[in-house]
Amino acid sequence: MKRIAAFVLPLGLMLAACLGFAGSGRDALAQADEPGEYVLGDPSAPVTIIEYASLTCPHCAHFHTQTLPELKKRYIDTGKVRLEMHDFPLDRVALQAAVIAHCGGPERYPGFIDVLFRSQERWATAPDPVVALTQIARMGGLQPEDVNACLADEALTNRILQSRLDAQEEYDISSTPSFVIDGEVHAGDQGVEGFTQLLDPLVN
């Protein structure tokens, strides 16, 4: 328990900064996000990056914390590219984390994703990942009973799993992160330079 408590406060501050939480956990639970894509950028951007990610995937975390900020500055904030993130859980813990992130509701979901990737090494390898995730969720306004209710929601879980099945069937996705750009699948974090080579011919 001490190991978890050691990172609750900084994570809480991070969540508050990302989300500016308002309302109770039960309000958030009542408005649980529908699993689908999380869209970052102008919906009418000429180029779309479709990302398939697992919340326990270290390479996915690297993309979100190291590569994405520069791509956002160069391409997303300038209206050239939009990013769609889809759930592709590789294991049970990733699935549980995705369920909890969606339980925050659509407005809080991006902030939960950001915090979960930034703190991945701590909660994903905790002795009891669900306890660690529940501590994070509490900082985001969800009570333990709300988290338990979401984890017991078979319909929500099945919709997240369906996202993975759809990716496998449509694009033959088998690893994370995987990116679909202009109909072509690119496996792994390409890094800023790699994405620049892929995107510049499409946006210039």
**For residue 107, what pLDDT band results from cuts at 50, 70 and 90?**
confident
Picking from 9-18, 29-38, 62-71, 121-130, which range would have the lowest pLDDT averaged per residue?
A: 9-18
Residue 129 three-state SS: helix
Q: What is the pLDDT of residues 6-57, one digit of tens each?
A: 333 344 444 444 444 333 333 333 334 455 568 899 989 999 999 999 999 9
Cα distances (angstroms) measured from residue 50 to each of 28, 53, 83, 180: 27, 10, 6, 5
Q: Quick check: 5 pLDDT over 60?
A: no
Amino acid at 77: D
Band of pLDDT at residue 108, cut at 50, 70 and 90 = confident
Q: Answer with the residue of higher pLDDT: 21 or 146.
A: 146
In the predicted structure, residue 89 carries a pLDDT above the cut 80: yes
Instruction: Please give the Cα distance from 190 to 95 (Å, whole number).
Output: 24
Q: Give me 78's structure tokens.
A: 């300038």
189-202 confidence digits (pLDDT tens): 999 999 999 999 99
Given this model, what pLDDT does residue 148 score? 94
* % residues pLDDT > 90 (the chain): 74
End-to-end Cα distance, the chain: 52
Distance CA(5)–CA(2), nearest Å, equals: 5
pTM equals 0.82
* Residue 23 to residues 27, 74, 192, 193, Cα–Cα distance (Å): 6, 34, 38, 41
> Taking all residues of the chain, what is their mean pLDDT, rounded to a whole number?
85
Write down the pLDDT at residue 86: 95
**pLDDT > 70 in the chain, percent:** 82
